[in-house]
Every structure is written in structure tokens, then in C-alpha cells.
């Protein structure tokens, strides 16, 4: 049985489709193989980099958890308790009005403890005294007004000067 030209062309096309790369030129076949090998090498390199990144991630996570545990331990430890200078507190308690001395001393003590944790006890004591000295002027003036010394002085000079 003889095939006609149209049927022969169909069979040739089907053969070409089945054969695939065998009908391509050799340089195209080599280029395709190079690309496939390059992709394999890239895929392996990417997998290695991903594995390295996973290892680094695991290390960082363990380091962070250890650091967090240390930070939690530090936060739960009570700080070394040091107290503000007693003489400064006594001086403020003597001069300041009774209704404001406790909140004022409480605020100064809170700042003292923060400064002690941040800068050390010596620097915190120095700053506490500086705050006390800065407050002495206004508190002394209030104390003088409260005690009525100005009224007494004015009356004294009136009597002496005959006014």
C-alpha cells in the first residue's frame, strides 16, 4: 500500500513529534543540557543556602531565648536597696509644709532609685543633694511666710522706728 504525499507528510510530522530533541541541531541540544545542568547546580546551591539560613535562624532563636531568659532573671532580681541621704530627707521634712513633704520625699526617693540603678549610688546621692539644695530656697521662703517671721520683723521695726 502506497501512501500519498499528504499521508506521508502527516507520518513525518508525527515521527518528528515523537523523536523530540533528536531532530534539533546539536548546538541547541547542548545548550539545553547546559541550561538544565546550570539549573540543577543553582537549585543545589539555593538548597544549601536555605539550609545554612535555617541553621543560622535556629542559632539566633536560641540566642534570643537565652538573652530573654537572662533579661527576665535580671528584671525579677530585686535591685540592691540603697537609701537616699537621711540628712537631706530630714532637712526637707523640717522646712517643707506637712501636707506636701511626704509626696515630695516620695518623688525624690523614686528619682533616687532610678538614678542609682542607672548611674550608681554615689552619683544618685549627689543628684539627690542637688535637688534638695535647689528646693531649699522656695521651701525656706514658704517656711518663713508660714512662721510669720516677716510679720514679727515688720512689727519689730515699727516699734523701734516709732512708726
pLDDT digits (tens, 9 = 90+) for 96-130: 888 888 998 999 999 999 998 888 889 999 999 99
More confidently predicted of 105 and 12:
105
pLDDT at 25: 78
Residue spans of the domains in the chain: they are: 1-77, 86-161
More confidently predicted of 14 and 35:
35
Cα 131 to Cα 136: distance, rounded to the nearest angstrom: 9
Cα 60 to Cα 97: distance, rounded to the nearest angstrom: 56
pLDDT at 18: 47
User: What residues contact 79, with CB distance under 8 A and at least 6 apart?
Assistant: 113, 116, 117
Amino acid at each position: 500500500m502506497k501512501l500519498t504525499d499528504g499521508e506521508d507528510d502527516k507520518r513525518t510530522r508525527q515521527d518528528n513529534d515523537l523523536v523530540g530533541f533528536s531532530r534539533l541541531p546539536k548546538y541547541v541540544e547542548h545548550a539545553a543540557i547546559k541550561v538544565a545542568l546550570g539549573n540543577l547546580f543553582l537549585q543545589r546551591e539555593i538548597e544549601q543556602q536555605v539550609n545554612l539560613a535555617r541553621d543560622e535562624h535556629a542559632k539566633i532563636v536560641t540566642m534570643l531565648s537565652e538573652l530573654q531568659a537572662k533579661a527576665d532573671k535580671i528584671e525579677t532580681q530585686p535591685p540592691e536597696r540603697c537609701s537616699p541621704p537621711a540628712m537631706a530627707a530630714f532637712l526637707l521634712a523640717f522646712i517643707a509644709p506637712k501636707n506636701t513633704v511626704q509626696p515630695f520625699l516620695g518623688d525624690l526617693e523614686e528619682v533616687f532609685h532610678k538614678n542609682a540603678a542607672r548611674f550608681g549610688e554615689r552619683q544618685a546621692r549627689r543628684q539627690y543633694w542637688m535637688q534638695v539644695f535647689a528646693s531649699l530656697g522656695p521651701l525656706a521662703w514658704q517656711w518663713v511666710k508660714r512662721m510669720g517671721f516677716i510679720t514679727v520683723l515688720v512689727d519689730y521695726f515699727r516699734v523701734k522706728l516709732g512708726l
